[in-house]
Amino acid sequence: MEFEYQEEYVKSSRGVQLFTCRWLPSDSSSPKALVFICHECGIRLARARYAVFGIDYEGHGRSSGSRCYIKKFENIVNDCHDFFKSVCAEKDYRYKGRFLYGESMGGAVALLLHKKDPLFYHGAVLVAPMCKISEKLKPHPAVVNILTGIENLVPKWKIVPTKDVIDSAFKDPFKREEIRNNKLIYQDKPRLKTALEMLRTSMMVEESLKLVTLPFVVVHGDADTVTDPEISKALYDRARSKDKTMKLYAGMWHALTAGETDENVGVVFADIIAWLDKHAAEGNLVVEPLHETFNVGIQKLPTPPPAAEKHSHRNYLCGFKEPRTLHSAM
């Protein structure tokens, strides 16, 4: 099944130019539901008849801002919140179910979006989410105190030592090399402020896991060394959701949907789509529509985006015309 891919730039309430995109089923039938992705690609979901919407975070992909610099993680969450709600206010989508989809750092974004408006979304797909710092990786408090003391002096300093995430995340060597050759992938050391914001956010999300109430499925590779599988287990155990599912995949690494063999990727997506189909089925959802006058401060920029294209075989990610890519290597 083909899909239609569209691009558009918007301006946030903070005046930041952000790149957005959408993958839509190309046939005449109405989409089953809306899926809002935080950090991933929507092709397979569009082919499964979901309308998928993505946004490049500030400083990531084709959005404006210093490369992979996160001044406040809250800004990322607010930008996603505003853009996703602006889509829900569109006439064609007001009565559609709404699902979040977050991978890695995007998992934290998805959980914080749920925390911001607990009743708005009907469910979430979380893939190796960054929702807790593994005990094996927690920095010593003394180190954190030292870095915190200088973060406002040199916030963009590329000082934080880190292992090569691409080598640790992408199991398939061919796909690993594709990622390395993508010029929009940030492969330098994390900036000081960014690293501290990620640490604080992970700790904050961990503390609020018991507040998670929406239906969700969390999937994780049991050989993941980037986000320890214990993180997903903590989410599953602590969340108050009555409808929750966890799936562990033997021998799989961090990049479940982009860095595994095609066969493994197919297995993961089959599980994800089966979960979405069950929860988006007609009669299972009650949708409170947003009104046409709803305004969240998102401004569509006048420069027209490239004409909508139809694709049948190529893989695209929000912000990139490269196969199987991610917003950043973080």
In 114-203, the DSSP E strands lie at 123-127
C-beta of residue 106 within 8 angstroms of C-beta of residue 81: no
Q: Are the C-beta atoms of residues 104 and 39 closer than 8 Å to each other?
A: yes
Residues 6+ apart with CB under 8 A from 305: 6, 7, 8, 9
Both tokens assigned to 145: 């105190």
Which residue in the list 56, 79, 224, 228 is annotated as catalytic?
A: 224
What does DSSP assign to residue 27? S
Q: Report which secondary-structure segment, H or E, holds 35.
A: strand 34-38
Residue pair 130/195 in contact (Cβ under 8 Å)? The answer is no
CA distance 89 to 274: 27
| Crossing angle between the packed helical segments 105-116 and 192-207, to the nearest 10 degrees | 50
The label of the residue with tokens 């880190």 reads: 162
| Interatomic CA distance for residues 194 and 73, integer angstroms | 8
Residues 60, 220, 254, 279: which is the catalytic one?
Answer: 254
36 vs 39: CA distance, rounded Å: 10
- Among this protein's residues, is 224 annotated catalytic? yes
Contact 246, 271 (CB under 8 A): no
Whether 241 is a known active-site residue: answer: no
CA distance 232 to 192: 26
SS3 124: strand
For the four alpha carbons of 45, 167, 218 and 193, in that order, the dihedral sign comes to negative
Catalytic residue among 12, 63, 86, 104: 104
Both structure tokens of 77: 């969450």
Q: Is 166 helix (H, G, I), strand (E, B) or coil?
A: helix
**Strand pairing report for 216-221 and 244-249:** parallel
**What's the DSSP call for residue 317?**
B
Active site residue 104: yes
Question: Which residues belong to the active site?
Answer: 104, 224, 254
